Structure 1
């Protein structure tokens, strides 16, 4: 049996070949991340008469750069394993200590495949690959939107510090419309009270009602009259608030488009993740996109580790730390989605809320209890995806 190790880079990759005794065969080849590069890799494979029957391939999951090589090898029919760089780091450090000459990373990756004999990495289905790209873009948009909102609040704190106390949601429809037209106290004072009330009633689609809209308009103008905001450079503040709000609106429209597309794709998977209280349609999309095929994991503990929800242990000699923290290795997107779902489940999921309350009664901090719920939730997700069955909560009385 032959073992092909491929060291992944952004522009170029390097491939090395070893036999079943761990001996290097020939020299490594460097090939570009391009069609011409793939042809060079194929020549290397043909040169040593390698085939899916007599060889296996190993890749490090370096960023997203491995995907094209993985896809190409999958088409050729090779058994290919993609693994975390941490797995090859241990062997790499061993070689650094034991030898005086550098050992190519491609050979080291081949040694990992030879020694560990890991399972083949399932090819990611097209739908799941699309979900992964879309949900990660969504997280990027959500973070951008949050950052823009913080900037708007910062500007309002300077020119109209009383504004936040008037609306329960500064970025709700009514508040946003007011800020787009009249972001400064002097702007509000220049508007007729009845016209301001009509604007609020119209934007809220009648939810305010005439009387409440008039009360809110008077409240706005009274606050504007007594505002203690700065009064210099107001044109710049006004322009910034307007542009930031328009940017927020654009991103929120993009988020609606993204989420609609994500849910359409995830529904084709016929999963049962949303039968778990705490997991919304969007959260289910993130979970599916990040996990890919559940067959990648043999045990739920592996999925917990992949999400970085396992505890990191600090030990040195006879010293054991009594403070454990999440390892935070693996997918940050999956960990974020599971943490958000666990937060909701801690209060609304019949079984998981009992687990949360039990931990709180034992003196555990809120974050520690939510983390424990997240791990338990991950075990449930593993079982649902493995068995392809709806969630049936089992409530065990204390």
Structure 2
């Protein structure tokens, strides 16, 4: 059996081939991140007399640069393992201390393959890859939309500071329509009460009307906002609202696509309280093959929800925080799911309330619920069964307290 370690980079990769004794067959080679570059690697395998079924290839999940070479080699019939860079870093510290270069890295990855000391990502299902891509893209769109909202609020604080108290949701449908047409106090004062009432009644489906229109105009007449450069403020607010609406339409389309793909997996992930199609897709796609984790605590660590102890000399910190290592997307999704499950699932809600009764901060309690939710996710995916109201005995244990 032979082992090949590939150190991934943006433009060029480095590869080392070793035998069962751990001896490099030749110096590492550099090959471009292209079809021609991969053909150079295949030529190396042929020159060494290494067959597809006698070679195990390993590479790190470095950004997105590994996907192309992974897909190419997979099509050629090779067995490939994709490992988390955290694993190779730990192995590097044990195997060769204080070394960091491409040649050493590819050799170390090959050694990790030889010893089998890794948990690999199984990307055999194209649907999982598609879910991961779309889910991460959705998070990016949501974050961009959030940035637009913060910028609108900053502008309104300057030009119309009273506006925040006029609607329960500044970015609700009715409020956005008002902002897109009349973004400044001066704009509101130019429109008649009747016309503004008709706009409010139409967009709110009859819930708002003349009374709200009069309230808006009164606030505009007595606004303490800046009156200079108002055209610049109005222009920015209109464009930002337009951009938000466009992003929200894209997110809606994305969520429909994600939901459709998630149903194709047949996963029971959405039977867990607090996890809908959107969060379920993120969790499932970021985890990949659950069988690469041999225990729930490994999944907890992969999500970066494990406890980090602060210690220096004889001092040991009493306030424990999560490590935040591993997948930030998975951690974010589980945290959001735990924030919901803590109030909708009887078991997790009871656990959350017990922590709060002991004087734990809300975030500390949600952190503990997140850890317990990780254990539930591990059981559901490992056993491929729907969630039950009473969890299995093996996951009924006290979770350590930690904060985000």
Instruction: Give me the whole-angstrom Cα distance separating, in 1, the residues matched to 2:17 and 2:247.
Output: 48
Residues 122, 295 of structure 1: 8 Å contact kept:
no
With 342-351 and 291-300 compared, the bigger mean Cα shift is at 291-300
Instruction: Give me the whole-angstrom Cα distance separating, in 2, the residues matched to 1:248 and 1:120.
Output: 39
The partner residue of 1:300 within 290, 296, 303 is: 296
2:195 counterpart of 1:195: yes
| Cα distance change on mapping 1:263 and 1:102 into 2, 3 Å | closer
Give unmatched runs, 5+ long, in structure 2.
397-404
Could you say which residue in structure 1 is the equivalent of 2:83? Answer: 83
| Cα distance change on mapping 1:283 and 1:35 into 2, 3 Å | same
Instruction: Summarize the alignment of residues 315-326 of structure 1 with structure 2, pairs less than 5 Å apart.
Output: 315-316=311-312, 318-326=314-322
With 119-128 and 347-356 compared, the bigger mean Cα shift is at 119-128
Instruction: Give me the whole-angstrom Cα distance separating, in 2, the residues matched to 1:390 and 1:296.
Output: 20
Could you say which residue in structure 2 is the equivalent of 1:256? Answer: 252
2:27 counterpart of 1:31: no
Could you say which residue in structure 2 is the equivalent of 1:41? Answer: 41
SS in 2 for 1:82: strand
Residues 307, 332 of structure 1: 8 Å contact kept:
yes
Instruction: Give me the whole-angstrom Cα distance separating, in 2, the residues matched to 1:88 and 1:127.
Output: 27
Report the aligned-residue RMSD: 2.2
Instruction: Give me the whole-angstrom Cα distance separating, in 1, the residues matched to 2:27 and 2:313.
Output: 43
- Which whole-Å deviations, capped at 9, do the CAs of 1:47-99 have from their partners, x for residues lacking one? 11112443322211111111222223333333322212232224444566489
Could you say which residue in structure 1 is the equivalent of 2:175? Answer: 175
Could you say which residue in structure 1 is the equivalent of 2:186? Answer: 186
Instruction: Summarize the alignment of residues 319-358 of structure 1 with structure 2, pairs less than 5 Å apart.
Output: 319-358=315-354
1:319 CA drift (Å): 4.2
- Which whole-Å deviations, capped at 9, do the CAs of 1:119-152 have from their partners, x for residues lacking one? 6642341111111111101111111111111111
Instruction: Give me the whole-angstrom Cα distance separating, in 2, the residues matched to 1:154 and 1:97.
Output: 50
2:286 counterpart of 1:290: yes
Could you say which residue in structure 2 is the equivalent of 1:390? Answer: 386
Instruction: Give me the whole-angstrom Cα distance separating, in 2, the residues matched to 1:86 and 1:293.
Output: 18
2:18 counterpart of 1:22: no
With 117-126 and 160-169 compared, the bigger mean Cα shift is at 117-126
Instruction: Give me the whole-angstrom Cα distance separating, in 2, the residues matched to 1:153 and 1:336.
Output: 25
Could you say which residue in structure 1 is the equivalent of 2:151? Answer: 151
Instruction: Give me the whole-angstrom Cα distance separating, in 2, the residues matched to 1:166 and 1:98.
Output: 60
| Cα distance change on mapping 1:220 and 1:102 into 2, 3 Å | closer
Instruction: Give me the whole-angstrom Cα distance separating, in 2, the residues matched to 1:98 and 1:198.
Output: 71
Instruction: Give me the whole-angstrom Cα distance separating, in 1, the residues matched to 2:98 and 2:384.
Output: 48
SS in 2 for 1:285: helix
TM-score by length of 1: 0.93
Residues 342, 370 of structure 1: 8 Å contact kept:
yes
TM-score by length of 2: 0.91
Instruction: Give me the whole-angstrom Cα distance separating, in 2, the residues matched to 1:121 and 1:225.
Output: 61
Could you say which residue in structure 2 is the equivalent of 1:309? Answer: 305
The partner residue of 1:279 within 268, 275, 278 is: 275
Could you say which residue in structure 1 is the equivalent of 2:401? Answer: none
- Which whole-Å deviations, capped at 9, do the CAs of 1:298-325 have from their partners, x for residues lacking one? 2221111111111123345554332221
SS in 1 for 2:169: coil
Instruction: Give me the whole-angstrom Cα distance separating, in 2, the residues matched to 1:6 and 1:177.
Output: 54
| Cα distance change on mapping 1:225 and 1:317 into 2, 3 Å | closer
Could you say which residue in structure 2 is the equivalent of 1:223? Answer: 219
| Cα distance change on mapping 1:309 and 1:117 into 2, 3 Å | closer
Residues 148, 244 of structure 1: 8 Å contact kept:
yes
With 143-152 and 107-116 compared, the bigger mean Cα shift is at 107-116
SS in 1 for 2:243: helix
SS in 1 for 2:6: strand
Residues 4, 56 of structure 1: 8 Å contact kept:
yes
Give unmatched runs, 5+ long, in structure 1.
none
Could you say which residue in structure 2 is the equivalent of 1:270? Answer: 266
With 346-355 and 52-61 compared, the bigger mean Cα shift is at 52-61
Instruction: Give me the whole-angstrom Cα distance separating, in 2, the residues matched to 1:249 and 1:6.
Output: 44
| Cα distance change on mapping 1:338 and 1:366 into 2, 3 Å | same
| Cα distance change on mapping 1:336 and 1:65 into 2, 3 Å | same
